[in-house]
Amino acid sequence: MSALICGSMAYDTIMVFHDRFKNHILPEQVHILNVSFLVPELRREFGGCAGNIAYNLKLLGGDPRPMATVGKDFQPYAQWLSYCGIDQTYIRTVDESYTAQAYITTDMDDNQITAFHPGAMSFAHLNTVPTKRGIKLGIVAPDGKDGMVQHAEQFVQAGIPFIFDPGQGMPMFNGEELLHFVELADWITLNDYEAHLMQERTGLTPEQLAEKVSALIVTKGANGSLIYTEGKTLEIPPAKPKAVLDPTGCGDAFRAGLLYGLKEEFDWPTIGRIASLLGAIKVETAGTQNHTFTPSDFHDRYRENFGHGF
């Protein structure tokens, strides 16, 4: 049984500026800003929420089916997905567009300047959640706005339970629109900042949001996560990474862990720990799809971190 992952596929172009932005941006001159940064370090990574979640779920032994719209430049990414054994049935190419692109420049203080081109992602609404294809559950991750709304509604119509993960797409929605997702979703996952923003926009506390779904999962970075379910709040401890190199994509790895645990019908303490460990493994490697492990390795790391297996 597979998991349908609705979200973006993107190229991440990451550049490192060997200085500090503050040394070159004069506050009193920002109205005539014209700066150039020499970036001797550059790498291009495969990214996007759907791609990252699918990659991590595949490592766990799951059967991810990413559903996304991509552009005419997608071939290198398609070859990578084929190499990873990830199904591409529900990836649609929009020939007149480029695949979504993020251009990220980081300075020595870890400040970032990012330019994002949505490209083909804006056509996400052209995809439709399939029915009767052996799909057990799904996730609506950041994507084109219309696509996110339609896919949530289509999951309900198809009788497929799904996770709502607004992530970086949250600024696109007002309180009423977010409440519509809440009414449709089976589970919601947010980071700590997004949880505060969700409360501000909907007027609902985490406890009140949790009453409307089977579970609300709130990640708290190095402090673990909270799972609100059945009137209880479960505290999930963080897993310990062997090194901290790059947090980019940790949230997507965590969500892959949720999907895997839900598909296997584990209890919430186990699901939360699987997701926590997957995020910790990701942080050990630069880039969002460069870490690797075997299922046996993962089970060993789980025992090392939590003192028991699953």
pLDDT digit string, tens, across residues 198-223: 999 999 999 999 999 999 999 999 99
Residue 275 burial (C-beta neighbours within 10 Å; 0-12, 13-18, 19+): buried
Question: What predicted TM-score, i.e. pTM, was given to this entire model?
Answer: 0.94
Cα 184 versus chain centre, distance: 19
- Rounded distance, CA 84 to CA 82, Å? 5
Distances (CA, A) of 5 to 172, 176, 188, 192: 20, 24, 14, 22
What is residue 3's predicted lDDT score, i.e. its pLDDT? 97
**What is the strand order of the sheet 112-117 is part of?**
41-47, 10-16, 100-106, 112-117
What is residue 204's predicted lDDT score, i.e. its pLDDT? 97
Half-sphere exposure of 118 (CA within 13 A, CB side): 12
Q: In the block, which residue shows the tokens 């089977």?
A: 214
Report the run of H or E that residue 136 belongs to, with start and end: strand 135-140
What is residue 8's predicted lDDT score, i.e. its pLDDT? 97
What is residue 245's predicted lDDT score, i.e. its pLDDT? 87
Task: Give SS3 for 157.
Answer: helix
Q: Where are the domains positioned within the chain?
A: 2-20+42-305
What is residue 246's predicted lDDT score, i.e. its pLDDT? 85
Largest CA distance in the chain: 60
CB atoms within 10 A of CB 49: 29
CB atoms within 10 A of CB 80: 14
Low-confidence ranges of the chain (pLDDT < 50): none
Q: Which of 3.30.1330.40, 3.40.1190.20, 3.30.200.20, 3.30.56.10 is the CATH number of 2-20+42-305?
A: 3.40.1190.20
